[in-house]
Structure 1
Amino acid sequence: MNKTWSVEEHLDDILRSVRPLEPIELQLLDAQGCVLVEDITVPASLPPFDNSSMDGYAVRVSDVEGASEEFPAVLAVIGDVAAGSGELPTVAPGQAARIMTGAPMPPGAEAVVPVEWTDGGTGKGPADSMPARSAAPEAAGGEVRVHRAVAAGAHVREQGSDVRAGTVALTAGTVLEAPQVGLLAAIGRGTVRVRPRPRVVVLSTGSELVEPGGELGPGQIFDSNSYVLTAAARSAGALAYRVGAVADDADTLRAAIEDQLIRADIVVTSGGVSVGAYDVVKEALSRVDEAGGSVEFRRLAMQPGKPQGFGLIGPDRTPLLALPGNPVSSYVSFELFVRPAVRALMGVTPVRRPAVAAQLAARDALTSPEGKRQFLRGRYTPPQEGEELGTVRPVGGAGSHLITALAQADALIDIPERTCDIGPGEEVSVIPLV
């Protein structure tokens, strides 16, 4: 095809072909990283009962009013209340119950006096700490001297103070990470309905590629693309499977991809999409497969990443994105095209990383080829107090092989097709990558 596609046209074509995955019910830990498809309503208040936030003594407020070091309030200790206690003693006037953190408040008690404000029931001065929880509880009886007054509700976690029954705790579209999983467990949910994490299969192509840790022969290089793309897929929220390098043979590559379709929601390849004699991805995938699918290879008005491929293959019409082989081209292409597709499968919005405006650093200037949308690597500093814009400085050059500069960058500098020169201090569009 002779048409040169824009970045937006290529991405729009990909996203038109991608639909969110069907929801499934998962156990909580299996749902981490997935997206909720329903609002979660709290069935019972949290905490479900008034409980102590301190180790100390549950008391009536009037019994400790005016208490001091010189004139402590002396209360009869009627028993212990531990976390998980069922039968609770009733605190009558002139009495106190020794209570542990998280234990339910006994009837009659209005507040908790921290143990540090008492003699610990020893008949001596203020206690430094409660006895170890593993120790056998003291029998009812004895006295405790309280050296400070407390207000009603002091050191008490009230029922529903975290969230009340009937409240929507999490809304549909929320990505479940550790805090959300913890909340679901706290309100008693054992499973949750979510969209599963997309499965991304990553292959790199090239007979010159050697697995890291191996020995390089003449003309060989280590396979970095399959690693960076797999890591990028995981960062995007996918379950990523790295197949590794496939030799420059069309039949071998076609067989490798067909074998992987059973566990793929997206297939990503790198290399073999240009116009060289050994660009086997084009040779293997340009023709229609048995299920009627094929991959279209395109020229994009962008740098790096001019050659791209996209299509739907196999019986399930699985999206396949064929990326260039140069390391920087491959990674930039992933960020611009694969990551949005992964996010669309997850049902997350927005699917793209948001861009921000920034000033080019004071001593830097940039040039860009006319007619190509260039994505340079950069280091972005957010705006400081009193500043409207952050700053960005380019890292490395425009070469698509400069993987060291890529590792030092945390943003892409997005230069439009018709912009050729940008001077120091001028405003540019930046896509933060973290």
Structure 2
Amino acid sequence: MDMLVLLGSFVVLMLIGFPVAYALGLAALVGAWWIELPLDAVMIQIANGVNKFSLLAIPCFVLAGAIMAEGGMARRLVAFASVLVGFVRGGLSLVNILASTFFGAISGSSVADTASIGSVLIPEMEKKGYPRAFATAVTCSGSVQAILIPPSHNAVIYSMAAGGSVSVAALFMAGVLPGLLLGLTLSAYCLYAARKNNFPKGRAIPLREALKICGEALWGLMTMVIILGGILSGVFTATESASIAVIWAFFVTMFVYRDYKWRDLPKLMHRTVKTVCIVMILIGFAASFGYIMTLMQIPLKITTAFTTLSDSPVVILLLINVLLLALGTLMDMAPLILILTPILLPVVKALGIDPVHFGMIMMVNLGIGLITPPVGAVLFVGSAVAGLKIETVVKAMVPFFVLLFTVLMLITYVPAISLWLPRAMGI
């Protein structure tokens, strides 16, 4: 009955139109009232939920990503990717994916990736003879890399939702190989599609021009080197790296590239603060919701239910994947990480599955949800940038969904893809 009251009130509030964050907070209050817990305890948990040093990484990474997305860095990364792979048949589709790899390793945001890379490459691909729907599908699918490749602020949220028991640095390193695997898989399909549909070849960029492009892009790529190099060398923590990323992004944008106007900075800061406020409210209310779930022993009951169904990790992981894929199409990524991690982590731990590995499984599942209707934020952004109906884009994305599901199965059932790098580095 406890579970029905808490989860039922949350679902009802969602159905009548409450935002996810407020639905979580109000459901927590209903749950506290049901079990006769003083409401002061809920308020304390909301405050404790956002009173964590590691959460400082989120506003900093969001700000750094916003500065890079609007400051000309995306355009230079696209040009750099063109130097590397733009000359082959179907090269612009490869440029799109590679640029998403680079930009994802800097911004950590799929939405920013799609908006920035898409605004540059979707019109360019169409001009060169690619179907606009195909160009949009490539852009949206490639942006899922940003969730996996460090620095991913969703990894920070997962670490916090896991009670701080999972290292952010380990999650960052665990996302490298899955992200590259996804990029290589999408690239292989794009090469196949280019041959099948006779997509055009790009031009080989002359050496002098290529050197100039590489020099300009190097400033942006250094962001990735500074963040990962600093973490791995122990110079600063994963949280501190976010602050360094902001400083570097600001320096490069305003003093090196100088494409961004100083008068536009207040508007950028306002958008960033607005986004961060929404995320922090969500985290605080999710903390109180998780606290009530723990008091009601809901995670323990769900763990028992799963292990009753089967004691095979293969079967349980398949069921969890189905659950995550279904929910990922209905809700945004951050709320699902905050809600589901305290519920599902005990289940996978009972089966001997590494929490870092499970974090990657969750990221890929929910990343697919970002490009799947009816509530796919990245899908909406890609469609808006391309000026296409969502149905048109979804139809073009069918083969990409197959590829993403294949990568998901590999990451789920081959733990070494996620765990080899962090273990090799002793994280």
TM-score between the two structures when normalised by the length of structure 2: 0.25
Larger % of helix: which? 2
* TM-score with structure 1 setting the length: 0.25
